[in-house]
Chain A
């Protein structure tokens, strides 16, 4: 079955770069878009950006200057980098697959990232 698993540091210092990886199993990365979504504590969901297997990306305009998403199809993972983080970037970060009609049909369990010194 399709599974996604986020990994990366749970604590990042202010002004530093948040780096997460999403490892995909049970399906090829090729032929799909893959997405990062975040959820601040007690708040709603926010689209961060997405990537196709070719490496083509689209980012949320509010984060575009700080976000980089990349993909490694051979290693079956895609990654997120968010630079110059502040406390407002704290929350649970999810990776997901873009499926039918641009719905998000498979999700990772999420990883909590706290920005604090």
Chain B
């Protein structure tokens, strides 16, 4: 039931930069609802990575950054590290659903 679309996977070598897109519509991201990002390491609960489009919670490295434009948002990881290998999800609010929506999820592979 995901209404936010993400690429299934992205890959990069250690030290490289990767980006993950999150595409929504006029009832969620395009309606000016903020976007948040979560990192889910294997076998663990998701962890808040970016909130309010581009803000990092305390303790999150500045290698992670978020942006939003129109009906889409992006998460960038610079200086990719082996420990960044995880699933990443975007999340927003949808006025048509009157509730929260998640992205389809993206697996980041560190080559």
Contact = CB atoms under 8 A, between A and B. Distances in A.
Do chains A and B stick together as partners?
Answer: yes
Interface residues of B, number: 26
B105 interface: yes
B102 A45 contact: yes
Interface stretch (A11-19, A20-28, A68-76, A96-104): A96-104
B28 to A, nearest CB: 12
Given A46-B1, A47-B99, A109 B45 contact: yes
A61 B44 CA distance: 27
Interface of A: 35, 44-47, 49-50, 58-62, 94, 99-105, 107-110
Interface of B: 1-2, 34, 36, 38, 44-48, 51-52, 55, 57, 89, 91, 93, 97-105
Main SS class of interface, A: mixed
Contact of A103 (B2, B51, B103): B51
16 contacts: A44-B89, A45-B91, A46-B102, A59-B99, A61-B99, A62-B1, A100-B55, A101-B51, A101-B52, A102-B34, A102-B36, A103-B48, A103-B51, A105-B51, A107-B45, A109-B45
Contacts of A61: 97-99
Nearest to B57: A105
B52 A100 contact: yes
Given A46-B102, A94-B45, 16 more contacts: A35-B100, A44-B105, A45-B91, A60-B99, A61-B97, A61-B99, A99-B48, A100-B51, A100-B55, A102-B36, A102-B100, A103-B36, A103-B91, A104-B36, A104-B46, A104-B91
